Structure formats: structure tokens, C-alpha cells
A and B are shown apart, each in its own frame.
Chain A
Amino acid sequence: MIWTLFSNEWRATLRDGRGILVLAVGTVLAIASTWTTSSTLERERIAQEEATFAAREAWDARALDNPHARAHYGDYVFRPPGPLAELDPGVQSETGRVVYTEAHRQNSAVHKPQQESASLLRYDRLEPATVLQLLAPLVMVLAGFGVVSSERESGRLRLLWIQGVRPLPLLLAKSLALWSLGALVCLIVVAVHLAFSGPVEAGRTAVFIGLHLLVIWVVAVLVTCVSAQSRRPGTAAALLLSLWVIGAIVFPRVAAMSAHAIDPLPGRDAFQAAMQEDREQGMDGHNPRDTRRQAFERQVLEEYGVETPAELPINLGGLVMQADEEYGSQVWDKHFGELTEHLVRQSTFAGYFSLLNPLQAIDRASMAVAGTDLHSHLEFLRQVEDYRRVLVKRLNDEHAFGGSRTGQPARVASREFYESFQAFDFEPLSLRSLLGKSKIALFALLIWGLGSVGYLFFAARRMNRGGLL
């Protein structure tokens, strides 16, 4: 019986001009968004590689210099797109693309090129994830608001009851028909993605599809049950469209706004000032009169058992710079660590809204799977900072132990030494690790999945009792 009802529903959708229109629009949007995002990402990937290459060329082409001067010259790191950014670019348009790694300071990611069209950025982007998370549910709402209420209004529902159709199979079949409509859009997106993208991570893609099919099921059940519980199609349409607007537009903004209002981040000036204050408590490697530097120098002289820096077999300057660096690292760890915790705390708070809104749950889970969520960004920054510290330490060590002595003219390191530095290479977090960090979203999706089944039974029972017939 379910199959008959299911195929009838599809036949009705295809016969109805509105159904065809909705399906056609959904398909066109799915193809267009996946194609444009894939080609944009492809260009971005090439540009990122070219930028990395340009930075490496500049490093290699620079005239040979003192290792600490090279540490000040520094290196630029350019953020690569996430592993599945073609499907969900996530937060990457909101984060800077470039990090400057240099001696004595940890820098933030800068340069958000889309800032120039900031007037548009308050709106969502037409990317495959938007099509699946916002437009596919909308297509289902428009195609399905009258799925039961129209039958009731036209009197066909009574006819079905007389023919022996029971509410649960009826609602299940209609939900499945609606779900298959959304699933079709989802499969088109993935098929176009596979056609236009390079090598695909099968695991991530499979989880991405699975999670979206689950949320599409939740939406299908909601649409069917709301339609079943509405006396008129107009009421169902108004209610479902309102729910869509609240879920897609209002709630995510309210969640972000609430997180910001309840637990605001420090201002940039205050953050920098606090860091500067702590930094000034430590050694100033570039000021020979700094008392902490002088104490450190005495300690080194004692260790080597000599009276003056000139007697040291090494270059004291390199050790001083590294000691300065290590103190700085403690300060950066403290302040950037607190900032990272704060960002995660805000994100977690906003994430609890997923329990109220399945569209937010899938948004977060999808970004995690695509490797484009907040945790991936923070991991990128962490790896860049590790890279900076290793780079500067190697240069300071070369300065200290590379053969020059304290007080001698700065020694120029060899070309081989500089060429031995490897460019930064980002290792994205594994899917398992990212899913582990998105427990709230996954839990919310599970609750919504189970809740939708419960709602289906509830709505069917109400119909069984004769309610809203």
C-alpha cells in the first residue's frame, strides 16, 4: 500500500505544474551552485598554490643574510581551501587567508577579499550546502504544504479512508515521496560535484550525503505532518513558510547575536594591550640594557664558565633571541589560548540552538565534515604557529651555533641552509576528530531524526482518532 501511495504522490507531483516547476528550479539551482562553487574553488586552489610558490621563491631569492634578519623577513602562509570546500565552504569566507610568520610575534590571519562587497555578505552564499540545507527544504515546503491538507479540503481524504487507507501508511508514503524529492536534489548536487571536482574523499562525501539525507527526511516528515494537522492548505503554507524563515534566516542570526551579547569577545585593542603588557614583563632581546637580558647573559656566561661574552664559543645573540622568543611564546599561548577557548565557547553556545533547529544542526555538522568549520580554522592557525616557532628556532640556533662568535659581524648563513626550509603544509583534521568536536550538532540531528519518527506516529494517531478529518 505504501508503494502505491508513494507512486501516486509522485505521479500527482509530476502532473501538477507547480510540482514540475519546483523540481525544475531545485535541479537548476543544484547544478548551478555546485558547478560555480567547484570552479571558484578550483581557481582558489590554484591561486593558493601560486601564492605559496611566490612566497617560497621570494625566500629562496633573497640575498644571503644573517639568520635573525631572515627571521624578521619571515614567511607568508596562505590558507588552502578545506577538503570538501566545494560542497560547503563553511566559515572560510569569514576568515583571513594570509598569516605572516615572523620573529617575536604571533600574527592573526588577515585579508578577507570579499570584504569589498560587504553589502552582500550579510546574505547567504549560493553554494551546494545552501541548496541542500536551505533551498531543498524550501522546495519541499512549496511542493508539500498541501500534501494532506489539499486532500482534506477537496474531500479526497475521506475517500481514502473509505478505501481502507490508514493514516500511518498514508503519512509515511507522503513523507517518503517528499523525501525522495529532496534526496533527488541532494544526489544531483553530489553527482555534479563528482563530475567537476578532482579526487574525492569518499568517506567525507558519504558522511556528507548521509547527514543531508537524514535532515531532508526530518523536513519531509515536518512538512507532511504540519500539512496533515492543518485544516486548510493556506494555513499549512503560512505556517511552514514561517518555520522555514525562522529556521533558515532568523534563528541562526539570533543564535549568533545571543552568543555575542552574552559572552562578548574582547575588543582588538584590549586584547593587544593585555598581550603587550605581559610581553613587556619578559626579556627585550633587542635592547642590550634590558635587565632581564643582562641576567640571562650572566646565566649563559656561568654555564660556559667564561667571564665575557667575547670568550663564548657561540654567538650569544642567537641564544638571547631564542630566549626572547620562548618567553613571547608563553605570552601568546596564554592570550591566544584564552581567545581560542572563548571562540569555541561562543560557538558551543550558538550550537545549542541546533537542538531547536535542524537546519542549524546540519549546517554545523556539514561544515565539520567538509573541514571548513571553526575547529578546522583554529587547527590551521595552530599549525601555522607551530611552523613559525620551528622556523624561528632553527634560524636563532643557526645564529647562535652556526659558527659566529658574540660581537663579531653578523654571520651570513649559506644558501643550502635557507633552501633546506620546507614551505608550510597544512594537515587537515581527520573526519573522526572533526565529528568528535561536533557532538552537539550530531546529537541534535539524532534527536531530530528520532523526533520526526515520533511526530509521524503522533500525527497519524490524531488522524486515527478522527481529529482534523
Chain B
Amino acid sequence: MILTALLLELRSLTRSPFRLIVLLLVIGAGLFVIYEGQRDVQRWEEAIANGQAEQDQALQDVRGYFASGDLGPSDRPWIQMTSPRWQDWYAATRISRAPAPLAGIAFASAESGAVSVRVNRFADPLLAAGMNIENPVLAAAGGLDLVAVLSLLLPLLILALGVEVGGFERYSGLLPLVRVQSGRDHTWLWARCLAVGFIAAAVGLFLVLSAAFGAGADLVSAIPLLALVFIYIALWTALLAVVSVISRHPSHGAVSLGAAWIVFCFLIPAIGVERSAALSSNDFALDLTVDARDAGHDHADADLQELYAIVFKRFPELRNTAPYSLERGRREVNEALRIVHLEERMEGRAKVAKKHSELVTAVSMASPTVAFSRALEEIAGRSPEAAEGFRKAVVDAAASRAERYIRTTWLSTKLGLEDFEELHASTPQFVEPPQPSWLNEFADLVGWTLIFLVLAVLLAKWSPRRS
């Protein structure tokens, strides 16, 4: 029966211009955004390469200074490469965020953290901007990437293909005929729903494989994406089954499926965005701006011993190299305190991020579409958590730089080229994308699918009695 239904659906597909247009629209939009996603990853890689080139130039300059014996640029005689402060400045290493294999699928993600940051002891990644300059009016329209195509347009394809399932049979009087011929009227409806699901799954498979091959990703990286796409299609197919059981007229199907799409893809996410706006309504980043700027100036009247205690608590190894005169080390203490404040700000921001993350989790549970798109962003390495991980790596590197700078300054070490090379090598150049955590969202989608399946079966059992 499934084969008969599949052939029927394929025949209706080729005969209906409306359905064909929707199918071609989904495939065309999918291929277009896959191409645009690849271009975006290319820009990402270029941004990293440009940063690397700039860094290599700075390294060459310093090697040249040591080779010539000038120890600094000729027009700035006060710059001496033997001093820790200038070594730190010139050995500023770029830390870059390596794109995940499938980064292109979520290039329209609103997460726009920096992809490459210059690290020295002054680095502050909290306000670092992303690689792209955004046009706010285009960003406000919402992005169109493969995540959007899969999460918003695939359900629409199922809606377009299956809008008349059940309603048409009942309205035209076909269902009693099916019952007489096969004895099981709902089996025919299930078969039609499955056929629609198969067609949508074929489209999903084609788009996922195109994205994976286009990005040069291996099949293993594409498996989570494929699993998510299939379960998402199964969910909408199960919803179609529910609607097919209750529809008495084709218009009921259109309205019910349309309403479900609007609730899951538009209304619940919109409520989530509104809640997110409320969460951030009073956040004008005073901690990252005014407070951060003034933190460095607040220590002038503070007890120096207390300041040293704070520094030693954070950097215990510096205790062994502290100068005899506390006053002599004041400048370096301020450097260390800058890092302490930066880490505090980072911690404060992590708390804010946690609140937002909890909100997104709650909305994901209420809307399978949000759960699905969130999981895809995870796989693409474009989630806020990935950006936060990168910022943390930058702060850790800056802290390590600061500690090294303070130690060598307090030891009054005159540094050479080997120290410079070692300093540069000690900072990681790449931060790999975190392991994507999509299993929770996958479980949400499985849960929703089961709910709809059980509902469809219960309604089907109840429906003959009602009729």
C-alpha cells in the first residue's frame, strides 16, 4: 500500500504546478544557501589567513631587529625588544576560531563573535566584533541559510504535499471505498503520510549531502545532521498523520497544518525572542565599558599589600619573583589586576549567558523548530556557547601572557630572540570548535514525534467510533 501511495503522491506532485513550485523553491533555495554558506566559510578562512599574514610580518620585523642589532624600529628608539613589555606587544599572536566542518550551514546565525583576536596581555575579547560588518536592516529580516531552509521550508514542503491527505478522502467520499476494498481505511492515510515523508526525506538527504560534499566534510560529520533532519521530517510527518485523521475537508488540513507551522515556526520562537529582549533590556554593558575602563584607575589609593594578595591568589607562582620593594612592582600589579578584572567580567557575562541559554532551552522544548535549528547551529559551531568558549581561550592566553610578562619584568631579565620565539609559541594559534552537543535537542524531537504518533493512533482509534 505504501508503494501505491508513494506512486500516487509522485503523480500528484508532477501534475500539480503548486506542489512542483514549492518543491523546486525548497531545492533551489537550499542549493543557493549552500553555495552562500561556502562563500561565508571562505571569508572566515580568509580573515584568519589575513590575521596570520599580519602576524608573520610582525614576527619577521622582530627577527630583523635582532639580526640587525637595532633591537627596535629606527623611528621609535624607545622600543627595545629586550624588554618584556615590547616583546609581548610585538609577539601578539592571533588566536583564531577554526570553522567547524559544516560551519556554512548556519552562516546566517545571529551569533557574530570574533573569529580571530590579537592576543597580548591587553587583549579583551568581550567586546571584540565579528569578521563581518552587518547591515542591521538586512540582519533584522532574519537570515536565510541551510538551517532556515531545513527548519522552516521543509515543513512547508510537507504541508504543501500533504495538505489534502485525509480531508480530501473524507470530503469526496473515497474513504468508505478504501475501507470496503482493504478493510483498513487509516492504513491508506498512514501510507499517504509516509509517502509525503519519504519525498521530504529525499529532499532533505539531497540537501544535506550537497552541503557536506560542498564543504568537503566527511560523512561522519554529516551523520548528526542527517539524523536530525530525518527525525525532524518524521516529526512533521507524524503531525501530518494527526491532521489527516481529523480533517473532514481539505481546507481543515490547510488551516490545521498552517496553524501548526505558525505556532511552532513563528509564534513560540517570537515569544522567546520577546522574552530575550526583556532579559537584556537593562544591559548596557556598564561592566564591560565604564567599569572596565575605570577599574585600572581605582587602585591608586588602595593598600598595596592587599593588591599583592589579590594578585598572588590568582597567580601564586608570582609570589617567588615579587620585588623587595612593593612600590617597585606597582605597575605590574596593575597589569595583573587587569586580568583579574577581565576574568571577573567574563564570569559575570557567563552568568548572563546562562540565563539566555536556559531561555533558549525552554523555548526549544516548546518548539521543535527551535530545538532543531539550535542543534544545527551547534553542529555548525556557531552557537553562543562556541563563541563563549573562544572568548575564554583568549582570556586564558592573555592571562598566561600577563603572568609571563610580570615574572620576567620582576626578574629584570634581558630577553633575547629565543625568549621572543618561545613567547610566541606559547600562545595557541587555533581554538577548535567545541564538540557539538545536539543530543538533548535530538531527544526533544524524538519526544515530539512520539507524542504526535501516539496522538494520531489514538485519534484514529477514536475516530470510527465517533463517526
Contacts and interface: CB of A to CB of B under 8 A. Distances in A.
A157 interface: no
B269 interface: yes
A123 B270 contact: yes
Interface stretch (A181-189, A255-263, A404-412, A453-461): A255-263
A124 B140 CA distance: 8
Contacts of B227: none
Interface stretch (B104-112, B215-223, B310-318, B418-426): B104-112
A237 B143 contact: no
Interface in A205-263: 232-239, 241-242, 245, 248-250, 252-257, 259-261
Nearest to A236: B251
B281 A44 contact: yes
Interface string B268-288: 011111101111111111101
A377 B276 CA distance: 21
B293 interface: yes
Interface in A47-106: 47-48, 50-51, 54-55, 58, 62-63, 73-74, 76, 78, 89-91, 93-95, 97-98, 100
Contact of B127 (A73, A110, A260): A110
B416 interface: no
B142 A126 contact: no
Contact of A114 (B142, B163, B267, B276): B276
Contacts of A36: 274, 278
A385 to B, nearest CB: 16
Nearest to B300: A63
Interface string B349-377: 00011011101100110000010011001
Given A46-B282, A234-B250, A242 B22 contact: yes
Nearest to A345: B135
Interface string B243-258: 0000001110111001
Nearest to B133: A265
A265 B43 CA distance: 12
Contacts of B278: 36, 39-40, 43
A249 to B, nearest CB: 6
A257 B144 contact: yes
Contacts of A100: 289
Interface in B131-178: 131-144, 147-148, 152-153, 156, 159-160, 163-164, 167-168
B208 to A, nearest CB: 19
Contacts of A91: 136-137, 139-140
Interface string B385-426: 001000000000000000000000000000000000000000
A89 B46 CA distance: 35
Given A91-B137, A268-B130, A123 B274 contact: no
B150 to A, nearest CB: 12
Contact of B131 (A54, A110, A267): A267
A202 interface: no
Contact of A234 (B254, B282, B356): B254
B444 interface: no
A346 B135 CA distance: 8
Contacts of A373: 137
B303 interface: no
A116 B388 CA distance: 9
Nearest to B116: A269
Interface string B423-434: 000000000000
B135 A265 contact: yes
A41 B148 contact: no
Contacts of B370: 119-120, 123
Interface string A263-283: 001111111010000000000
Interface in B323-371: 352-353, 355-357, 359-360, 363-364, 370
A51 B25 CA distance: 47
Nearest to A253: B144
A289 B76 contact: yes
B289 A146 contact: no
A125 B277 contact: yes
A350 B276 contact: no
A237 B294 CA distance: 61
Contacts of A114: 110, 273, 276-277, 280, 356
A138 B387 CA distance: 37
Contacts of B383: 118-119
B437 interface: no
Given A122-B147, A268-B129, A47 B284 contact: yes
Contacts of B258: 142, 237, 241
Contact of A47 (B110, B259, B281): B281
A122 B270 contact: no
A142 B272 contact: no
Contact of A41 (B109, B156, B281): B281
Nearest to B278: A40
Contact of B249 (A234, A255, A269): A234
B373 A122 contact: yes
A51 B270 contact: no
A33 B274 contact: yes
Contact of B259 (A33, A142, A266): A142
A41 B356 CA distance: 18
B274 A127 contact: yes
A241 B133 contact: no
B284 A48 contact: yes
B10 interface: no
Contacts of A117: 272-273, 276, 279, 356-357, 359-360, 384
B249 A233 contact: yes
Given A121-B273, A269-B131, A290-B75, A253 B143 contact: yes
B262 interface: yes
A115 B271 contact: no
B281 A146 contact: no
B138 A350 contact: yes
A436 interface: no
B367 to A, nearest CB: 9
Contacts of B4: none
Nearest to B272: A120
Contact of A118 (B33, B111, B300): B111
A184 B46 CA distance: 53
A374 B138 CA distance: 10
B138 A234 contact: no
A430 interface: no
B214 interface: no
A13 interface: no
Given A123-B266, A241-B254, A252-B141, A98 B284 contact: yes
Contacts of A73: 293
A163 interface: no
A256 B300 CA distance: 51
Given A114-B273, A117-B276, 9 more contacts: A58-B294, A62-B294, A97-B285, A120-B360, A123-B270, A234-B254, A237-B251, A237-B254, A267-B43
26 contacts: A47-B282, A58-B290, A58-B293, A91-B139, A94-B139, A95-B136, A110-B285, A112-B112, A117-B357, A119-B111, A119-B374, A119-B377, A126-B273, A126-B274, A146-B251, A233-B250, A236-B251, A249-B265, A250-B153, A255-B141, A267-B131, A268-B132, A270-B50, A289-B76, A347-B135, A373-B137
